[in-house]
Amino acid sequence: MVTAGIDIGSRTIKFVCLNDNKIFDYQITDTTVEPLKKIEEVLKDKKFDQLVATGYGRYLMQENYNCPIVTEIKAYATGAYFFYPDCRTVIDIGGQDTKVIKIKSGEVADFEMNDRCAAGTGKFLEVMAQTLGYKIEDFGTEALKGSNSIPINSMCTVFAESEVISLIARGEDKKDIALSLHHSIINRVMTMVSRMNPEQKIVFAGGVAKNKCMVQLLKKKLGNILVPEEPQIIGALGAAIIAAKNFEIMTIKERR
């Protein structure tokens, strides 16, 4: 049986195909402002017996493809557990949400997630990279070249941007500002993480796990952390596994 998972995030759409519990196809594409069109492109010519959707845009799949949905919290927990059966904690930092998930025997035991504020998420890094004139994919490696000497107090993306602009005006080194910003977001994430009493093994997933500086700083705080080779696809993978398990997948429509 071939099953698939699609994770429609705020920044990227991830698609994973599983055959007998092995990933044989995956794809990552930008969500853009026309997610439905992008979804159509992704799903074109793909063959699978069952598809499950997750992520912020999961209702688009439900409404347009009558597709079962799960939350990204369950999907990330399932995906992380698949790769690392001894993982107890998942930190997922995506485009606009940060989630900390505790896992017990493969199931979600507890979770924390930010509410409306995008502080401590990928959005923060994205805006800051732009302010400093870095490409998002270089931001982490460039920050690692800095020496952290500037305290950045703002957690809020908007305030931090003003703070960065005044630091640039003061003539501070860009790399130092970049590193300080990474420290600032780590502090924010750690507040949420410590509230959850993280237990080893800890998996770091989501798009922000591709940032080397974030990985290094989190390691300093938490000891060992596991980062999957493709940290972005963990949610889509989880959705594909849930499709395979085929246990009582139901749409919200059926629930009502």
Partner 1 sequence: MSGNNYEKMWQELGLDVNLHNEVLNYINKCFQNTVGKQKNRPKTMEYFDSVLHESHGGRVAELIEEKSKGKKIVGFFCIYVPEEIIMALDLVPIALCGGTNFSVPYAEKMLPRDICPLVKSTLGLAFSKTCPYAPIKSLAVGETTCDAKKKVWDILAQKVNFHIMELPQKKNVIDANLWENEIHLFAENLEKLAEKKLNPSVLKEKIEIMNNKRKVLQRLAKLRLKEPTPISGLDTLVVMQAALNDEPVRFTKKVEELCDELEDRIKKGISPFSDKAKRIMVSGCPSVMGNWKIHSLIETSGGAVVVDETCTGVKYFKDLVDTKANDVDGLLGAIADRYLKLNCSCFTPNNDRLDMARNLAKEGNVKGVVQYILQYCHTYNIEAIRIEGALKQDNMPSLKIVTDYSEEDTAQLRTRIEAFLETLK
Sites of contact with partner 1 (CB under 8 A): 56, 70-74, 97, 107-111, 113-116, 250, 252, 254-256
What is the CA angle 196-198-202, rounded to 5? 135
How many CB atoms lie under 10 A from the CB of residue 247?
Answer: 6
Instruction: Label each residue of 121-190 as H, E or C.
Output: CHHHHHHHHHHHCCCHHHHHHHHCCCCCCCCCCCCCHHHHHHHHHHHHHCCCCHHHHHHHHHHHHHHHHH
Query: Based on CB atoms, which residue is closest to partner 1, 109 or 165?
Result: 109
Q: Rounded to whole angstroms, how far apart are CA atoms 52 and 176?
A: 43
**d(Cα 33, Cα 174) in Å, to the nearest integer?**
31
When the beta carbons of 70 and 178 are compared against partner 1, the nearer one is 70
Q: Residue 59 Cβ, how far from partner 1 at the closest point, in Å?
A: 9
Q: How far is the CB of 242 from partner 1 (least distance, A)?
A: 10
Angle at 180 between CA 174 and CA 182, to 5 degrees: 105
Q: How far is the CB of 108 from partner 1 (least distance, A)?
A: 5
- 45 or 254: whose CB is closer to partner 1? 254
Q: Which is nearer to partner 1, 81 or 134 (CB)?
A: 81
> 125 Cβ partners below 8 Å, 6+ apart?
136, 139, 181, 182, 185, 208, 211, 214
Cβ distance to partner 1 smaller for residue 114 or 184:
114
Nearer to partner 1, 17 or 60 (CB): 60
User: What is the CA 224 to chain-centroid distance, rounded?
Assistant: 19
User: Angle at Cα 5 formed by Cα 250 and Cα 105, nearest 5°?
Assistant: 70
Residue with token string 């999957």? 228
Shortest gap between Cβ of 91 and partner 1 (angstroms)?
15
In 3D space, the residue among 51, 103, 80, 26 whose CA is nearest the CA of residue 242 turns out to be 51
Residue closer to partner 1 by CB (options 70, 186) is 70
CB of 35 to partner 1, least distance (A): 13
Q: How far is the CB of 216 from partner 1 (least distance, A)?
A: 29
Closest distance to partner 1 from the beta carbon of 53 (Å)? 13
